[in-house]
Structure formats: C-alpha cells, structure tokens
Structure 1
C-alpha cells in the first residue's frame, strides 16, 4: 500500500510540467559548467563549479530514482530505450573526478547534455526518425559509394599525370571527389584539368549532378518521410482516437434494428391490452 502511494506521488511529480522544466534547466546549467571548466578560472570559482557539478550529479541520480519508482512495472522501465540511455548517462557521470581520471570523468559528464534529447519530445522524434532512416539511407550511401568509386577510377586514369597529389590513386581520387561534392574550391581542380582535357568539365558536372543534386536530396527526402511517419505515430498516441464515420451499411443495419424494436414494442403493447380486456 505504501509503495503504491509512493509510486502515485512520484508519478505525479515526474509528469509535472514544473518538474520537467526544472530538469531541463539543470541540464542546461550542467552544460554551462562543463564549458566553464575549459577556461582558466579563479580557484574559488573552480571550487564552486566542482561542488555545483556534484550537486547536479546527485540531482540527476535522484531524478532517475523518482522515474524508476514512478514506473508501475519495473521491467517496463528498462524496455524503453530512452530510459536505458538516461541510466547510462547518469551512472557514467558518477565516475570519480580525481587524479589522472579527471579527464575521463569530465568527458563522461559532457554527455549529460544529451539528456535534453530524452527530455524534449520533439528532439526524441528527430532522433528516432534519424535512426529509423539509417537502413534506407544505407542503400543510398552504398549507391553513392559505387558512383564515387567509378568516377575516382576514371579520374585517376585521366588526371594522375596532371596532379598526382589529387589523382594519384583511387583512394586519393575519392577524397578529391568528396571535396568536389562539397563545392570546396572545386572549380580550381576543374580548370587545372581543362588545360589538358578541354571537355573534362563534363566529368565534374555529371558527378556533381549525381551526388549533390540527386543522392543528397534522396537522403533528405528519406529522412523527411520517416519524420512524417514518426510525427503521425506520436500524434496518434497523444490524441484520443476519433470515431469512424458510419457507413451506409451500418446505417441500414441500425434502421432495421430500430424497426424490429418498434414492432416488438407494438406487439407487447397489443398483448397487454388484450390481457387487460380479458380480465375486465
């Protein structure tokens, strides 16, 4: 009985908007303290930041315990990936920051900023969409790799004598093509090869058209499609289901049922009237 009351109380606290806003504020403060440690500060300020960091770590541990107890089914708590993520982040921040381990401890504490993702539903939606889009994006990336490899092999055979630093072999040529795909001074590379091969501009333009205009837009479209599905699923979970409009067949069935009920009531009323006449 006491455990149920405690679960109910902690559940109200965990679902409170004030508590959620306070947790987000603490996460932001935690990020600021981690950034402050990268500056040369006064020893007194460093001391305050160390104690503030310990207080933030303790708060995250208490907040995680509250969420754990507020869960009606303890096993269900660890079935949710975001709860496992938060648990790893919080336990990682408990790593002692002393001596030679201070760098590792601060490095682990940096990842507490990622808790913003688990606290804000919109950020969770973005991350979930990105993770679910990875398999589809993988096939697009594989096709891009094939295109890169073909163009790199051709570029190495044609332009290796012009500039070996950019076209010496396939691996270096692929790195050069990545520079071309990101538009990083790619015209300088093109004009250099055009001095020897005047039609080499066709090589660059077709490559840019395939990679920058087609494949990258395909990746963006894939992510947007998955995000739309995730948004629809999230909306369906938060909003109550709307009643479906009745079909013509359902309307006819209801009318038939009403007609049968009216006939039954009429027969019952007629039978009662006859019985009353007989008694009189």
Structure 2
C-alpha cells in the first residue's frame, strides 16, 4: 500500500491565509477604499501648504498622517499575506515592489527625521493611483518604455542644437552678442526658438545681418520643430500601443490560465478513459470477467466464476 502524501507543515495554513486575504485584496470595496485613502493623503499634502491651517490644526494633521501610514501598512501587509503561498509572485509585480518601498521608507529614521524627504515620500503615494486607474497605468508604462527612444531623441537634439549654435556664433556672434555671444547663449537662444516663440523677431534681426539667416532659421525650424518633434511623438505613440497590448495580455491572462487548466483536466480524464478501456480489453482477452469501475466488486471478493479477482 502506497504511503499517502503529507504536505509540509504550515503549507495548508499558508494556503488558507492566502485565499482569505486574496479575497479581501481582490474585492471591489478594497480597491475603492485604498483609492480614497490615496486621495485623502494627497489632500493632506495640499492642506499642509497653508501655514495658517497647519498652525491651527497641527495635532489633527499629525494624527491623520499617522492614520494614513497605518492604513497603508495594513494594506501592504494584506497584499503580502495574499501571496503567502507564493511569495515570489508578489515580488514579480513592479507595483507591489513600489508600494512596499514607499511604505518601508516611511519607517526609516533618516527619512522620518528629514521633513523634505518625508513629504516627497508622501507625495510618491499619489503615484499609486495608477494601480487603480488602468488608463493612467498604461500611460506610465508607455512613458517608461519610450525612455530608450527618448534618450536617442535627446542625443540627436543635443547634436543639432550644438551644430546650429556653433554656426550661429560664427555668423551672428559679433553682431548679436546678447543671443550668440557664446556657445551657451546660442544654445539657450535656439532652445527657446524650438517652440517657435519669437522666431519672427529672430528672423527679422537676422535679415539685417545677412540674407543667409533666412536659410539658417528656416532649416533649423524645419529640423527642430517639425522633424524631431514628430519623431518623438512617433516613439511615444508606439510605446503607448505596446503598453496597451501588455495591459490587455495581463487582463486576459487569468482567464487563459483557467481555460488551460480545464483543457489539461479534460486531457487527463480522456487519458484515464483510454487506459481503462485498454485494461478492460486486456482482461477480456485473458478470459476474465470485467465490469465498469463503478460496479466492480471489492478487492479480494469472488467474481462470477468464484475465483477471487486480484
């Protein structure tokens, strides 16, 4: 007789704890409560910018901040407990890591003693609203995915600014030292002109110096304000589409997992049926009586011929 498998001690308790806490964490009211708590924390940050209100309500504001911290700590504890049977899954979610870091940093003595850092940390809690707003989450993921392309765009833009700044310093440095007297001033002038603000005045001032300034400013506006900006928009839009696809795959992943488990269960049942049919055929070839499993006599009892079936 084969030994029955006994799970490790504590596994069943962790599974029950994870199931119960998971039901709470995945509930609609829990998400609404945490979202409201984040908004309340943001409102407290805004109230603290008014010195009169802070002086009048300092004890209550202090109490409200500690209540928010206790609530956020309880929330992250529930999320950790919901993954008690699979802690690695908790660490695989970047949002869980972000929430855990924000809560744990609030208990560090260095952070609590520094008012500026503590306020910045409390401000970081507002970013957690993206966890409960799918569209905002998609935008943040798109921004993160567009960073490599954006860095390339910034490099190309910096090279373009430097080249045109050097050309502007050569042609306009002596005539317009206020804007092109040095490479730094030239870069600043061209950076401001990238928004097309004051481009008309710059062109008129350049025409008084040389007619070639029209070609200079025209080519710069074409490359900086149209080509580069459109390239940046294209990078962001592409990243946004990729983020939407990733979010969509994440949303349907649980349903696909359930379907896969059902298909696996059906395949196992079908394999068991085939094995049972082959066993009945083998018993039939040996001349032994057989019957369906549900009607089979207990082991050791006599069959139809009086011979015990083993």
Give the TM-score taking structure 1 as reference length.
Answer: 0.79
Q: Which moves more between the two structures, 151-160 or 119-128? A: 119-128
- Give 1:99 shift: 9.5
- Answering whether residue 61 of structure 2 is matched by residue 41 of structure 1, we say no
Partner residue, 2:88: 75
- In structure 2, distance between residues paired with 1:95 and 1:106: 14
Instruction: Pick the structure with more helix per residue.
Output: 1
Q: 1:13 aligns with which of 8, 18, 24?
A: 24
- In structure 2, distance between residues paired with 1:201 and 1:49: 60
- In structure 2, distance between residues paired with 1:231 and 1:21: 23
- Give 1:127 shift: 1.6
- In structure 2, distance between residues paired with 1:224 and 1:159: 38
1:10–1:99 distance in 2 versus 1, CA, 3 Å = closer
Partner residue, 1:254: none
The 8 Å contact of residues 37 and 46 in structure 1, kept in 2 or not, is answered as: no
Q: Which moves more between the two structures, 81-90 or 186-195? A: 186-195
1:237–1:104 distance in 2 versus 1, CA, 3 Å = closer
- Answering whether residue 233 of structure 2 is matched by residue 220 of structure 1, we say yes
Residues 198-234 of structure 1, C-alpha deviation per residue, up to 9 Å, x if partnerless? 3412211211111111111111111111211221232
The 8 Å contact of residues 97 and 103 in structure 1, kept in 2 or not, is answered as: no
The 8 Å contact of residues 93 and 112 in structure 1, kept in 2 or not, is answered as: no
- In structure 2, distance between residues paired with 1:9 and 1:122: 29
- Give 1:35 shift: 1.2
The 8 Å contact of residues 97 and 105 in structure 1, kept in 2 or not, is answered as: no
- In structure 2, distance between residues paired with 1:140 and 1:102: 37
Q: Which moves more between the two structures, 197-206 or 92-101? A: 92-101
Q: Which moves more between the two structures, 192-201 or 152-161? A: 192-201
The 8 Å contact of residues 41 and 65 in structure 2, kept in 1 or not, is answered as: yes
1:15–1:120 distance in 2 versus 1, CA, 3 Å = same
Q: Which moves more between the two structures, 184-193 or 224-233? A: 184-193
- In structure 1, distance between residues paired with 2:132 and 2:45: 19
Q: 2:165 aligns with which of 152, 174, 190?
A: 152
1:230–1:110 distance in 2 versus 1, CA, 3 Å = closer
The 8 Å contact of residues 20 and 119 in structure 1, kept in 2 or not, is answered as: yes
Partner residue, 1:278: none
Residues 249-280 of structure 1, C-alpha deviation per residue, up to 9 Å, x if partnerless? xxxxxxxxxxxxxxxxxxxxxxxxxxxxxxxx
Q: CA RMSD in A?
A: 2.2
Q: Which moves more between the two structures, 145-154 or 61-70? A: 145-154
Q: 1:92-241 to 2 correspondence within 5 Å? A: 92-95=105-108, 101-239=114-252, 240=255
Q: Which runs of 5+ in 1 are unaligned?
A: 242-280
The 8 Å contact of residues 105 and 111 in structure 2, kept in 1 or not, is answered as: no
1:143–1:173 distance in 2 versus 1, CA, 3 Å = same
Number of equivalences: 241
1:121–1:86 distance in 2 versus 1, CA, 3 Å = same
- In structure 2, distance between residues paired with 1:210 and 1:103: 42
